[in-house]
């Protein structure tokens, strides 16, 4: 899930907030502590464990594996390509230079 991953997003935000590492001055320590505790709960799957699901499917009947496949970046790109109109596809196909033309 390139550029759509929660872990990547959180790591970037933490790195941005603590650019100076341990020397970073925290304006509101209480808020920082609450955010840290929230991140710990996400990391440890606190609510997933506290409220276990009875079934591993949703109302659609799809499983977690089905959703992972559907939401994969490559599949989403293919779906976007399918949404393009015929003229747009043709224009993109013929407007790009072909590699053999560059070598002539």
Domain coordinates in residue numbering, the chain: 1-52, 55-98
Q: How far is CA 40 from CA 10, 32, 37, 76, 98, in A?
A: 12, 12, 5, 30, 51
Q: How far is CA 71 from CA 1, 10, 23, 44, 53, in A?
A: 8, 20, 39, 23, 21
Q: Write out the chain's pLDDT in tens, 104 residues.
A: 666 778 888 888 888 888 888 888 888 889 989 999 999 999 999 999 999 888 777 777 888 888 777 777 676 677 676 666 766 766 777 776 555 555 54
- d(CA 79, CA 83) in angstroms, rounded, equals 6
The phi, psi pair for 18, rounded to 5°, reads: -120, 50
- d(CA 87, CA 24) in angstroms, rounded, equals 54
């Amino acid at each position: 899930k390139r550029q759509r991953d929660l872990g990547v997003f959180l790591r970037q935000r933490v790195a941005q907030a603590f650019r100076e590492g341990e020397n970073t001055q925290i304006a509101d320590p209480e808020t920082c502590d609450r955010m840290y505790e929230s991140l710990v709960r996400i990391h440890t799957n606190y609510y997933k464990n506290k409220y276990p699901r009875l079934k591993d499917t949703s109302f659609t009947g799809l499983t977690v594996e089905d959703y992972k496949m559907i939401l994969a970046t490559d599949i989403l790109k293919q779906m976007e390509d399918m949404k393009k109109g015929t003229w747009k596809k043709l224009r993109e196909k013929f407007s790009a230079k072909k590699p053999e033309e560059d070598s002539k």
